[in-house]
A = this chain, B = another copy of it.
Amino acid sequence: MKALEEKILAEGRVLPGNILKVGSFLNHQLDVPFLMEMGKEIARLYKDCGVNKILTIETSGIPIAFAAAAHMNVPVVFAKKHKTKNVSGGVYSTVVHSYTHGTDYTVIVDNEFLSKDDKILIVDDFLANGKALIGLIDLVHQAKGRVIGAAVAIEKAFQSGGDALRAEGIRVEALAMIESMTDSELTFRQS
């Protein structure tokens, strides 16, 4: 999505540790009209695929998931970060490893909000190592639902998560794919 690449170049900031800050429009301040355009593009990509629900993860996946859902006319379920490793009944749960924070965390979805009849599109803001997406796919499979595919705003294509998922046959769409990133230069992979 050309407009997203231009926005990243104009507003993004690269910090040490391969961190791309896009808090001005994607995950702290939200440029809602622009996010709605991103959601429209996700809806176009997954048109006629039978998606009946979007699954994302709190917090920063929610805005882009919501925007896509508004165009696809489907509900969103967001997996919640759980405070302890002890999870009580009535939920699906999985453990996600965060490279950014160097820790594991548990996420849960109430089991009444995922079922075997669901055809799920997974949406998130960033894709790097893919651990969050793998966790979300695991939740759908626990419910015996079907994963139609995934859509992310920004993929760090120089990390392995996206291509590993594609190699497993999972459809993964990224609105912008960053090929390389340094303090002074940012290049995109053309899909």
Q: Is the interface of A mostly helix, strand, loop or mixed?
A: mixed
A128 at the interface (CB under 8 A from B): no
A75:B32 contact, CB within 8 angstroms: yes
Q: Decide yes or no: A30 and B75 within 8 Å by CB, A36-B70, A62-B59 being known contacts.
A: yes
Instruction: Tell me how many chains of this kind the complex includes.
Output: 2
A23 at the interface (CB under 8 A from B): yes
How many A residues touch the partner, as a band? 20 to 34
B113:A29 contact, CB within 8 angstroms: yes
B32:A66 contact, CB within 8 angstroms: yes
Leading 9 A-B pairs by shortest Cβ distance: A32-B69, A30-B76, A29-B113, A58-B59, A29-B77, A59-B59, A62-B62, A66-B66, A32-B70
